[in-house]
Amino acid sequence: MNRNYKFYNPEGIYFVSFAVKEWIDIFTRNEYKDVIVDSLTFCQKDKGLELFAWCIMTNHVHLIIRAKKGYALQDIMRDFKKFTSKKIITAIKENLQESRKKWLLEKFLTKEGIHFWATDNHPIELWNNSVINQKLDYLHNNPVEEGLVFRAEQYVYSSAVDYAGGKGLLDIMLI
């Protein structure tokens, strides 16, 4: 049985991580990260996504999310990944500054079509405050651990600034 989009508790809050195929560092350019931000915003407004925390790393994304009543998280994630795959491939093709264009397109465009994301989301249901806090700390400190910033709230493509009392790029619900 395929476990790619298995969110067993429809009312649950989940920590999900999903990586770019072969862990390719694609999100080194803001225009590609902005595709993720814009798509998350759309999913919040039109697809029933509730977003509690997020972080875009160079080759993967972390989210803490839930679906509003009447929506299914696996459907939201499926549509999100399908849309962002196509949109990022288009952005690569149109980016005159992309020095890795040929190599990236060869990696992501297969005979079967676009294969941008690795297949699994690794969903973990967050069932108590201890687990929630552990995942929040992990998610927000990922850019610090990777040496991208000195403090988590300095990283623009993350909800850490919201949890530090500021206003980030996306509207989130604090846990």
Q: Model-level pTM greater than 0.85?
A: yes
Return the domain boundaries, the chain.
14-140
Residue range 14-140 in CATH 3.30.70.1290: yes
Per-residue pLDDT of the chain (175 residues; tens, 9 = 90+): 344 557 889 999 999 999 999 999 999 999 999 999 999 999 999 999 999 999 999 999 999 999 999 999 999 999 999 999 999 999 999 999 999 999 999 999 988 899 999 987 779 999 999 999 999 999 999 999 999 999 999 999 999 999 999 999 999 999 8
Strand partners, 18: 61
